[in-house]
Amino acid sequence: MLKCRRLIIVKSMKKSTIAAVIIGLVLLTAINYFIFRPRTQPVICPADAQLCPDGTPVGRQGPKCQFASCPSQAQQNIRVNEPTANQEIGLPLVISGQARVFENAMNYRLRDADGTILVEGFTIAEAPDIGQFGPYRVSISYPQPRGSTGTVEVFSYSAKDGEQINTVTIAVKFTAVESQTVKVYFGNRLKDPEVSDCSLVFPVNRRIAKTPAVARAALEELLLGISINDLNQGYFTSINSGVVINSLTIDKGVAKVDFNDMLQAGVGGSCRVTSIRSQITQTLKQFPTVKTVVLSINGDRESILQP
């Protein structure tokens, strides 16, 4: 009996010794790991940032210091398809995309390298209903920029407090353009506050790409209307938006211009009719090849632009 008890005690001691050895090995392995494991140096990324199309800056992150992803356009109210980031732009500048903004009204700006606003204006998105996206597209000329880079801003104003919202900023590069300057003619409430003469219009310079069809190019600039800068200086146009030139010919000093129906859509009153004719006539008569201007709408010369 005593012999059996001694055998049991010996066996128990052996099990305790084995367990202790195992625990000791585990502890030793853990200690070795924490003491002698490879040390990973922390990654320090450059502090530069990248500007997303919506104007949001994102920094570098992760082990490879890659720029973080830009916010999704799914929640943006203004989307810009053209120009794209760092695109080279010439004359004219085309801005297009989709928007869902209050009353479909939106604005745009072009700045040069030092932040100077070269041109700013407004347009309307053609949305089918409230809360739905609609396309927009503008084609604009702009003065000679300083520097080779700039930014395009597309945005809207809050109906609540007039704050600028929904801003999308696109970095662009200016490409070399062979250009020329033409004049377009508008009325001006500051220069002629009493509107004493409805035919009185005033020239505004426009920088356009050089073209042999300079008369048509000048007329197309006139039809684009006024910029915000023009508006702030008192200029206004009597010509409807959406007017299209069907044809323009110049022969023996006579310029014959045919337009679509929008030229006289909703037009009434002798003063406005006179102003429309004067804007078109003076814009074309800046060229020495034009002495007389004949207007028509879809071929009709006789019954158009009546007071």
pLDDT at position 149, please? 97
Of the candidates 208, 168, 152, the residue with the CA atom closest to the CA atom of residue 184:
208
For residue 248, CA distances in Å to 96, 240, 305 come to: 27, 19, 18
pLDDT at position 68, please? 75
Q: Domains in the chain, please, with CATH?
A: 73-174 (2.60.40.10), 179-297 (no CATH)
pLDDT at position 196, please? 82
pLDDT at position 64, please? 77
pLDDT at position 170, please? 97
pLDDT at position 27, please? 63
Of the candidates 227, 60, 222, the residue with the CA atom closest to the CA atom of residue 142:
227
Can you tell me which residue has the tokens 């209307």?
A: 225
pTM as predicted: 0.74
Mean pLDDT by 10 residues, the chain (307 residues): 46 56 61 55 72 61 75 76 97 97 96 96 94 96 96 95 96 96 97 91 98 98 95 97 97 98 92 97 98 97 87
DSSP assignment of the chain: -HHHHHHHHHHHHHHHHHHHHHHHHHHHHHHHHHHHSPPPPPP-----EEE-TBS-EEEEETTTTEEPPPPPGGG-SEEEEESPTTEEE-SSEEEEEEE--GGGEEEEEEE-TT--EEEEEEEE---SSTTS-EEEEEEE--PPPSSSEEEEEEEEE-TTT--EEEEEEEEEEEPP--EEEEEEEEEETTTSTT---TT--EEEEEEEE--S-HHHHHHHHHHH---HHHHHTTEE--SPTT--EEEEEEETTEEEEEE-GGGTTT--SHHHHHHHHHHHHHHHTTSTT-SEEEEEETTB-SSSS--
pLDDT at position 61, please? 79
